[in-house]
Structure formats: C-alpha cells, structure tokens
Structure 1
C-alpha cells in the first residue's frame, strides 16, 4: 500500500488555484480569524475547496485525523452571502424567452462509428467518435480522469483523481488513466472496464495505455449509445430561462459534469438507461441521476461541483431519476437530500400517456395520487414518451 499524502486545512487570504492530490488525507489547522478563507494544502501546495470536495466524494481524499470533511466549507461571509436563487416571476404569455449566455454547444456524433482502438494518441479528445468536449472541467474536454495506482484480484485500489495541474503538456488523459467523457443529450457513455474499484468505487472511460486510447468495454467499440428504445424521456421547458440539467458521470468520478441544457421553449431528451445493458455496481443494476439547477444557471456553472451554501451542481435543489427495468421506465422527481433542503422555485410535472399515476412538484411539495410530501414522487410507464414539464 502506498503512503498517503497529507492534505492540510488552513487559513489564507485567498483561495489558490487547483494543485495535485492523490489518495490523500486531510489535516486540520485551527484558525483564529473568522473572516479568512479556508483552503487546503497538499505537500506544500494548495488546492481549492471544490477540488477537495470532489476527491472526498469519489474516495480519493480523506481526513488524516478522521474528522468531518464537511469542515471543508468556507466560513459564512457577513452579512449578505449565499445568494438565494432569484425568485421566478409568474410566466406571462407575452414574455420573451431569454436564451442562456452559455457558450457551450453539445455537439458530437452520438453513437458514431466504432472507435479505432489503440490508434489515437491520448492527447487527442475523440470528438469525431461521438464524445462531447466539456471545457469547464479544465481536463482537455474529459469529464473526469481516474488513475488507479494499485490493481489486485479484487479490483482497483488507490484511485487518484487527476487534476488540471497534473496534466502533461496540456494532456490530462495521462498514462494508465481512465478518461471519461460526455455524450450528446439522448446518448450515454458506454465505455467502462469490467474490473472496478475493490471497495466499491466506480471507474469509467477510455484507457490511456502506451500513449494510445484504448476501449475498455468488452461489449462494444462505440463510445456513445442510446438507452432503452421502449420509452422516450424528454424535458419540455416552458419558462423564459434555461435550466441546466446535469447527469452524474457514472461510472467514473461521479461528478455532475454531463450536461443537458434545456433552453426556453424547447424539448431535449434525457437518456433512460436500460438496466439490463447498463453499468452494474457490485452486481446491482443502476439507473441515471440528474441534478436540476435553478432556472437561469448556465451548464458551465451548474454542471460541476457546487459550493457549500450554494444552490448549483451537487447542491442543486432537485434530482431526476431515470431508468428502465422489468418492462417499465421508472421516472422520478425528488429533493436533493441530505445535501440540501433548499426548494426549487419552479414547477416540475411528469406527463405522458399510460403513466402509472401522477407526480408533480410545486411550492416545496411533491404530490402524487396518494398525497403530498417533501421528499419526492415516482411513476412508471411501459412505452411511449414521458415529459418533465418545467414551468
């Protein structure tokens, strides 16, 4: 077992740019000044709190003293901080839709031709074969990069999350790493290795081996594929602002970096994984989870780790659950607990012919045929199209 690096928590007047970290441990230092900013130190360098939080969530970082990693949060500013999401005006018929200022375009070729295994250099992002480049991760377009430092008969151990500072001459898909990617809306990543983390960590993407990108799936050489063909799931945005809907990069770093940008007055597809053909976690079938950000948040801001006290990214108020299993699609809306108790400001309703019941979120309540609660609701549908109506 390698000796873990030490990640320290200390006070500073500014937050440093990201620096490297491995399978590390946190070390806390008490600070007397309540107005200073909390940062992290690793082997003499500094990493920001978002990067540290990401490492904690995917298991590549840990507290040296066994403390609570939530102390990674910055101190509460005074007295006008964490901006509450702007209240959404009642939609008027004459309201002109506001197109998001996002510069991101979810291009890519969907389920394109087979990937040329072992031909492209690891420095080449494979847009030509369906992958969608994500610029805001600062990883050369990859949604996440994982480098297992140990391999045993039970799986990968000491899985390091590669950060920007560890990129080599701009190439972040380094030797021995699994490099994950997004696909355009309606498609999903279909490359991940059969071997996974020995203690339950998920690993996904293409492998950089001997300087070349290699497929990792034993079932397909394509990079992107559709989910079930039995049910179509779509988001219909009736509001005047965009909604950034961000899927968890799974299997992989499990950051919410896979974007779907629901622009005003549009319909966009959500991938509905068929559990029989999707990723199994320790023998258990899995589905897709999406984070629904407040209206008006760009995908650049919403589809990445959020900050404690904020309401974007993994701190977004609401999740969508989407998956097909046992002959039906199971579609849900639910509160993002225990991460946040903040309520979504707009209404979300499921609509579709043949749904098993009703499910709607409005004014902090999730309501179905059986009543209302503050947690969530789910319906099933065997065929056809089901919509998330945002209004």
Structure 2
C-alpha cells in the first residue's frame, strides 16, 4: 500500500507545524476526529500541532478563515475547510481505525477542554488464551476445510465453523444477495428479506464466532462500489469464492483486541457483514463481567475495497438489549441496530488502530454507559464518557483513535 505524506506549516504568532499521522478511511463515512482533503488527487494524512499541542480541523478551518493562521511560504495549497469523502455506495459501512491510503486529516484541538483524569484501570489486557477458548466454544469445525460444491444451498454449513443466525429468518445466513454479473462486475444486487433463502445465483454470507471472521468473498464486486460476500450458490450447491485465502470458512484476525463488559447488564455488539450486505448482523453477546475477543482483520490479507485496506466496524447497543434485538436492521424507533449510538473501528495496517466514534450522521443519541480503550502500550488515549470523547489532547463530540504500539488492547465498558 502506498503512503503519501505532506508536512505542512501554518504561520501565526506561534507556528503551526504538521506531522505525519496515518488514519484509515473506509469507503463511506469520515474517519473519526478527522477532516479529509485531497492533495493533487493523491492521498495524504497530516497531523497539525500548535505550540506543541494537537489541533482539530474545525480549529484550523476557523483560524484560517479568520486570517489568524496562514500557510507558510512555499507550503502546498491544502484547504482544511473544503474536505469531504464521497460515499461510494448506499451502505452504512463507516470509517474504521487502521491507516491506509487516505486524504489528509486533522485531529483534536488544543482549544478544547483539557482531557480529564482517566478513571482507574480495572484490569490488565485480556489474555489470548482466555479469548481463544471463548471463541472456539461456540462453534464446531473451525479447522475443517469446506467441501466445495458438495453441500446443498439450503443446508447451512454449521459443521464448518459458521454460527447460524436463525433470528434473521434467512436460514441461518447473516445476509443473502441475489446478484447479476455483467462485464466482469456485479451490475445488480437484490438483498434478501426475512423468509428468503440461499438459492442459485445468490451470495450467501455467514457469521463466525468471536475472534473469527468469514474468509469468503468473490473478486467480482459491485459496479458502483457495493460489496459482495459469502459463499456462492450455483446449481443448488455451495461453492467457495476465495479459496486462495482459505478453504476454511472462518479465519482468525490478527488477535490482541478484546472487549470487556463491567456494567452489570448484557451488551449486544454487532459487526457489519462486510463484504456483503453491510448490515450490522454479526453478533457478539457480552454478558456482565464477560471478556471476548474483538476480531481485528489483517490489513494485508483481508478484504480490500478498490485496492484500499479495510477494517472492521462494530455497533454498540445500549445496555440490556439482546443480540437478537440489537444485531438486526432497525427502524429508528429505538437506538439499536443501525441506529445504535456508538461505533468501534478495529483495523491493522502498519500497527493496530482502534477507534470509538459517534454513529454519525445516523444518530446523535448518547450511549447509556462509558467506553475506554486500555492497553499494554498505546500511542495516546481514547475514551467515551458521559456522551463525550476524550483523548490526551482534549474532548469532542465525534470520536477518538489510538494506535496499539505493542501488546494487547481492550475496549472496557463501564
């Protein structure tokens, strides 16, 4: 993956110096805590500091507009006030946390309130041993190769790792797409609704247990940026679509990321079915005092959207909702499902990157508990507390991101 960088300097009574800071942009929403711009059609990631403190895009934009800051002589013409990310599909898949080829960003402002003292750490990062046993206990056949072209399409392949999601009414599948292919791209996609089945001509996606993710998606993707994923149903039989990656249906991520529930009630954490329908249907039920792995895809080997590294997005529902309720497409009458208040972004690309961010622009609803990221060696801090996002440089209403420099990291709900 090619990385571009531009070091920009803005001038005022004090200098505003830019330092390289990579962040991942998925294909639909802005990355949290960022403002994105294009530099000569190339992708660049920038971090600005004023008098040794980080500043946000809003701060830069306002100060430049008011004439209080300007780019120093000889600097590239990058306008912080005209940034955007053009949506490429009708999906709700949002920005995640790993760095990749991406436009410039600005991070938190020194003019924001100072970061409050973090609440005391509850426990050290979870061990991989505990998370692995938790993950494997909910599935069978994780290490068994899938018998390509032998299983009927109406038989959900639970003997080969996937977890059946019967509550969706799709025969256990996490999503089904009926596709038409023309000129080597998917020209039309119809998404199955409750009661539909995996039939010939469809792509049938599936959920894997905690710590694992699906391995199958075709190289042929949507002509307008939509993603397609799962097994292919052809002539009544199920076929692998990505055997070069794995002949096993569920594969592990890079590991080292966990989620812990300390709030006293069940929490439904739901990953988007990506590549695929991009609905938040992949469930993780987190009981009180429960600790589970949160799958972090390998940026080098996992799905790439138009050549760009992607990462996993998780929706965090308010406390007390089951995965049956929360890991489903909602109608907006409750702050659950795709209307859940908070997203987590988890990705790996030259290091692991973890985010907590508001589910914007879908909702401004606040979560009824707090989230912090703890780790052995984090490049900064990130937490969501009482409806605000905090990092070492201040607070905001949109989100925060940290790099895991080494060791494990845990999202703690408290």
Structure 1: gaps of 5 or more residues: 1-55, 60-104
SS in 2 for 1:333: strand
Q: Structure 2 vs 1, CA of residues 303 and 194 (structure 1 numbering), >3 Å: closer, same or farther?
A: same
Number of the residue aligned with 1:131: 162
Residues in 1 aligned to 2:343 and 2:317: alpha-carbon distance in whole angstroms:
9
Matched, 1:173 2:198: yes
The count of aligned residue pairs is: 282
Instruction: Give 4+ residue runs of structure 1 displaced > 3 Å after superposition.
Output: 56-59
Residues in 1 aligned to 2:220 and 2:263: alpha-carbon distance in whole angstroms:
44
Equivalent residue in structure 2 for 1:186, among 211, 234, 237: 211
Residues 110-129 of structure 1: matches in 2 within 5 Å?
111-129=142-160
CA contact (8 A) 1:110 1:187 kept: no
Deviation at 1:198, TM superposition (A): 1.1
Deviation at 1:382, TM superposition (A): 3.0
CA contact (8 A) 2:382 2:400 kept: yes
Number of the residue aligned with 2:357: 334
Q: TM-score, normalised on structure 2?
A: 0.66
CA contact (8 A) 2:378 2:406 kept: no
Where relative contact order (Cα < 8 A, 6+ residues apart) is larger, the structure is: 2
SS in 2 for 1:358: coil
Number of the residue aligned with 2:318: 294
Number of the residue aligned with 1:198: 223
Structure 1 residues 130-154: Cα deviation after superposition (integer angstroms, max 9, x where no partner): 01000111000001100113x1224
Q: Structure 2 vs 1, CA of residues 106 and 250 (structure 1 numbering), >3 Å: closer, same or farther?
A: farther
Structure 2: gaps of 5 or more residues: 1-88, 93-135
CA contact (8 A) 1:109 1:184 kept: no
Deviation at 1:385, TM superposition (A): 1.2
Residues in 1 aligned to 2:308 and 2:333: alpha-carbon distance in whole angstroms:
33
Q: TM-score, normalised on structure 1?
A: 0.70
CA RMSD of aligned residues (A): 1.7
Number of the residue aligned with 1:357: 380
Matched, 1:368 2:381: no
Structure 1 residues 7-35: Cα deviation after superposition (integer angstroms, max 9, x where no partner): xxxxxxxxxxxxxxxxxxxxxxxxxxxxx
Number of the residue aligned with 1:97: none
Deviation at 1:164, TM superposition (A): 3.2
Number of the residue aligned with 2:293: 269
Equivalent residue in structure 2 for 1:210, among 229, 235, 242: 235
Deviation at 1:197, TM superposition (A): 0.7
SS in 2 for 1:353: strand
Residues in 1 aligned to 2:316 and 2:137: alpha-carbon distance in whole angstroms:
17
Number of the residue aligned with 1:225: 251
Deviation at 1:201, TM superposition (A): 0.9
Structure 1 residues 211-249: Cα deviation after superposition (integer angstroms, max 9, x where no partner): 1110000412110001114xx111111111011000000
CA contact (8 A) 2:227 2:277 kept: yes
Q: Structure 2 vs 1, CA of residues 106 and 364 (structure 1 numbering), >3 Å: closer, same or farther?
A: farther
